[in-house]
Amino acid sequence: MAWLPIGCFLIRSQDRIILVDAGMGPDLDDAGPRRFLIGGQLPLGLRALGVAPAEITDVICTHLHSDHCGWLFDLDAVPVFPHATIWFGTGDWHHFVDGPSERLLDHIRHGLRVTAEHGDRLRLVDQDTTVASGVTLTMTPGHTPGHLCVIVSSAQQRAILLGDSIVCPVQLDESTWSSMGDVDPALARRIRERLFRELEDGRTLGSGAHFPELQFGRVLAGEGRRWLA
């Protein structure tokens, strides 16, 4: 049994307050002994940081699995972050919202459709895109068709919020281990290798949405590369 956090990150850039990933929502997801997900903590976490939902200007979902978009809308499909622009990959719209391929909770799908029909608060992304000063998105498909990572940079420093493109640092040592959720495991593996290479340049840190304690780390280059948190 592994214990994984369901992580979200908050970025402040000039007058923007950007939430990366929108958690599990208020629910539990009990899918038997192999998977038990506990939601409910995001509003508390934001309050602890002194941020009200109405102050969030942008929500970036690395992808649309249920543990990354659960707080976008409440059970009546009303936006939880009323003033936020929502960003995610175009491929995930086709896969999760349009397509029958994977189940998206009804209120989330409905909320996204209504948002798309009214107003301009939805940004679908299919290429590297700047969200705000020092915050860019890079396409990293494989875990899901539209998966993206968020690159946060300031002067010479750089961090990658990996979403689920790397689910656990152990994948550096065990390159054939894939997430149960990978839609295209072969592509996901190639993308992981690309990201691990970026994480060994000496100035780039990374953390995934489910890394132990959400600690940032990097790859130590050399023979038998190692993960250093």
Q: Footprint of Zn ion on this chain (CB under 5 A)?
A: 67, 164
Question: Minimal distance in Å, beta carbon 121 to Zn ion?
Answer: 23
CB closer to Zn ion out of 57 and 112: 112
- State which residue, 164 or 182, has the beta carbon closest to Zn ion: 164
Tokens (6 digits) for 178: 């894939």
Q: Which of 219, 223, 226, 229 is nearest to 197 (CA)?
A: 219
Residue pair 173/155 in contact (Cβ under 8 Å)? The answer is no
**CA-CA distances (angstroms) from residue 216 to 55, 96, 118, 206?**
26, 29, 38, 5
Per-position DSSP letters for 106-150, written without gaps between them: HHHHHHHHHHHHSSS-EEEESS-EEEETTEEEEE-TTSSTT-EEE
Two structure tokens written together for 52 = 């009200």
- The distance of closest approach from Cβ of residue 206 to Zn ion in the complex, given in angstroms and rounded to an integer, is 15
> Which lies closer to Zn ion via its Cβ, residue 144 or residue 204?
144
Nearest-approach distance from CB 179 to Zn ion, in angstroms: 8
Compute the least distance from the CB of residue 63 to Zn ion, in Å: 8
In the complex, least distance from residue 163 CB atom to Zn ion, rounded to whole angstroms: 7
Nearer to Zn ion, 35 or 190 (CB): 35
Q: Residue 55 gets which letter from DSSP?
A: G
Q: What minimum distance in Å lies between the beta carbon of 62 and Zn ion? A: 8
Nearer to Zn ion, 37 or 124 (CB): 37
H or E element, residue 189: helix 185-198
Task: Answer positive or negative: Cα dihedral of 210, 211, 217, 218.
Answer: negative
Specify the residue, 20 or 57, whose C-beta has the smaller distance to Zn ion. 20
| Closest by CA position to 210, among listed 180, 157, 167, 156 | 167
